[in-house]
Copies of this chain bind each other. A is one copy, B any other.
Amino acid sequence: MKYCAGVDIGGTTIKIGMIDSDGALVAKWEIPTRKGENGLLFMKDIADEIKRFVEEKDDMTMEDLIGVGMGMPGPVLPDGYMEVCVNLDVHELYPARLLSELLGGIKTALANDANVAALGEMWQGAGKGQDSICMVTLGTGVGGGIVNEGRIVSGMHGAGGEIGHMCVEPGETEVCNCGGHGCLEQYASATGIVRVAKRKLASSDRPSRMRDVADLSAKDVCDLAKEGDELALESLRYSMDRLAFILSHIALASDPQMFVIGGGVSKAGTFLTDMISEEMKKYQGIVPMDRYDVALATLGNNAGIYGAARLVMPEEAAEA
């Protein structure tokens, strides 16, 4: 049996997974992210962990390891260059090249973490059997990844699939984390959903059980909307309308088979995906938007590991 390692590098922890050529996750563990020396510390840790795993596994040698794929939270240029990765304190680095050197010249690959998660969901998650999906992660921010005919659309500036920062409200006065105004993230992320709800509460005296919640969360807004609280429902519908507006544009740009919704907010389930589907219909013209499935992600936090491993998996194995 041959294996690929998938490494999902976050600001606090690094998730490492070993996936066999049948696509099964055979081992998974985490290590803390040791920042410093421009990424060299945590890169050495990753190399050591992989070597240790192979050594300890009875029926495996380094010959059985096809390669190591990685996801990192920042823009990756087509040649693998990262100008900056703020969360990891890394600047002007070719991370995949570095890891390959640390592992004796093994095949390595790198992509943006949201893009890698999309690839993972396409391969072994909600998009299994498809080859073109767009994944949206609704968490603290809004992450996005587009996979077209089996390949991540990384883009020429590493901005491929950055749907969280597409402008949906040019007149917005509050500034987004990215420095822009009216980004999708300001409306449809967990933070954005709360922000929209609070604005809605402040703009009228209409009754809502949201007023009784001390530290309103996106989960509260979703739960109350499900229970029929009118203001919560209107508010959430507006947030999902802004997402649907952007998804209708993606539909007519890369035209995927389906949209996959992940992240903490997606725990609201089909109530949320049905709402997104419904809102998308408003924007249909030349292509009926009900052709696009809107599905819940199924791999959770493992999507990044699967996708990272898929980056180095040979086509014939990946399709088996």
Contact = CB atoms under 8 A, between A and B. Distances in A.
A292 to B, nearest CB: 8
Interface in A131-145: 132
Nearest to A246: B249
A285 B165 contact: yes
Contacts of A245: 167, 170
B286 A160 contact: no
A148 B284 CA distance: 25
- The number of chain A residues touching the other chain, given as a range, is 35 or more
Interface in A147-164: 148-149, 151, 153-163
Contact of A154 (B151, B178, B255): B255
Contacts of A202: none
B255 A166 contact: no
Given A249-B166, A252-B163, A156 B178 contact: no
A257 B159 CA distance: 11
A158 B253 CA distance: 10
Contacts of A291: 157
A253 B257 contact: no
A146 interface: yes
B286 A165 contact: yes
A36 interface: no
A171 to B, nearest CB: 11
Nearest to A257: B156
Contacts of A248: 166-167
A253 B256 contact: no
Per CB-CB distance, the 7 closest pairs between chain A and chain B, nearest first, are: A180-B285, A155-B255, A178-B286, A165-B286, A159-B255, A162-B252, A178-B285
20 contacts: A132-B155, A132-B156, A146-B253, A156-B256, A157-B255, A160-B252, A160-B254, A160-B255, A161-B252, A162-B252, A162-B253, A165-B287, A167-B245, A167-B249, A167-B285, A179-B285, A180-B283, A183-B286, A246-B249, A250-B253
Given A157-B255, A160-B255, A178-B285, 10 more contacts: A153-B255, A156-B257, A161-B252, A163-B252, A166-B249, A167-B245, A167-B249, A167-B285, A183-B285, A246-B249
